[in-house]
Amino acid sequence: MKNDCLVLAIETSCDDTCAAVIKDGREVLSSVVASQIDLHKQFGGVVPEEASRMHIEKLSLVIDEALDKANTKITDIDVVASTYGPGLVGALLVGVNEAKAISYALDKPLVGVHHIKGHIFANFIENDIAFPFVCLVASGGHTHLYLVKDYMEIELMGQTLDDAVGEAYDKVARVLGLGYPGGPIIDEIAKKGDKANIDFPRAWMGKDSYDFSFSGVKSSVLNYLNKAKMTSQEIIVEDICASFQDAVVDVLVTKTMKLAKKLNIKSVAIAGGVASNSELRQRFRDACKDESINFYYPSRKYCTDNAAMIGVAGYYEYLSGNTSDGSLNAVASLTLGSKK
Ligand code: KG4
Ligand code: ZN
């Protein structure tokens, strides 16, 4: 007799083709990620049409591999979950349509999962976190600050008004000729630089604002480079990386901690690709220790896009009765929580 609940999860919102099998919402039986980085890095960023085409080519193989690694047959699956937004609409559609087809063929429930919710829920894979907690989601597409009151009650407290922080990392890396994606490269190079050498601006957005802006610091790096080239000043890439990272990490940590303290919240979590940044993790570790606040973050493989996080979030959507029918569609600009 079978008591456990197996979720087959699919994630194709951007440039990673991902599938996972999750047991009872917590245990990752398998998580397969087929990265498209090699395809997109020649263009210095994600080319949407190429991403969709690659998802179509890879998704069935990735699902088969996830089932194999989990030692599971597709007929053992109880729930089929897929990211349905936000993201690149053509890319999302590949995952949503595959999930619909599998759910129909198996006659098993279909669940649409919000991508950002997936990032937040990645924290539950390796940690038991008590509600409420403050969660900073920082990735290539998002910079959002949430108050997570319960699995289904998530309130938006602040967000970027222009570039996402990962996008700023990628653009700065591009102008420095460092390659794509820029975040992990800058993270490494910054360790060898002196952050005190250049003063890049921090956008605080007003005293009580929890919103963010990263277009200013990005332009400031561009201006610094242009000026240095015109005046034949030496360009120390390590110092630029360290100073840029210091400016963005300072704002992310300060605002998140300020929110937690203001609301008297005892746990802070981070999520999304940028949550794997070593400096960000260290500054949060130190700040949370000073304030006796618990600090949580997912392993690196669960920070960047993956389907395990979608399976965890999908399980709780399913438990809450949030199933979908064949009319589930991709929503490129899906929002999560509204600001009060
Ligand atoms: O979560 P993710 O895989 O995709 C989105 O939903 O956007 O995040 C990708 C982003 C990229 O911008 C990448 O440069 C950034 O996360 N990233 C990092 C690091 N690792 C990945 N940024 C800073 N430091 C890192 N170590
Ligand atoms: Zn993501």
DSSP secondary structure, 91-132, as one string:
HHHHHHHHHHHHHHHHT--EEEEEHHHHHHHTHHHH---PSS
Answer whether residue 339 shows pLDDT above 70: no
Cβ–ligand 1 distance for 112 under 6 Å, the answer: no
**What is d(CA 308, CA 52) in angstroms, rounded to the nearest whole number?**
20
167, 155 Cβ separation under 8 angstroms:
no
CA of 241 to the centre of ligand 1 (A): 15
What does the pLDDT read at residue 1? 52
CA of 272 to the centre of ligand 2 (A): 6
What does the pLDDT read at residue 273? 96
Question: For a pLDDT cut of 70, what percent of the chain falls above it?
Answer: 99
What does the pLDDT read at residue 38? 79
Near ion ligand 2, which residues have CB within 5 Å? 139, 305
User: Is the backbone peptide bond immediately before 184 cis, with ω within 30 degrees of 0?
Assistant: no
186, 245 Cβ separation under 8 angstroms:
yes
What is the model's pTM? 0.95
What does the pLDDT read at residue 28? 98
Task: Establish how many alpha carbons lie within 13 A of residue 43's alpha carbon, considering only the half-sphere containing its beta carbon.
Answer: 12
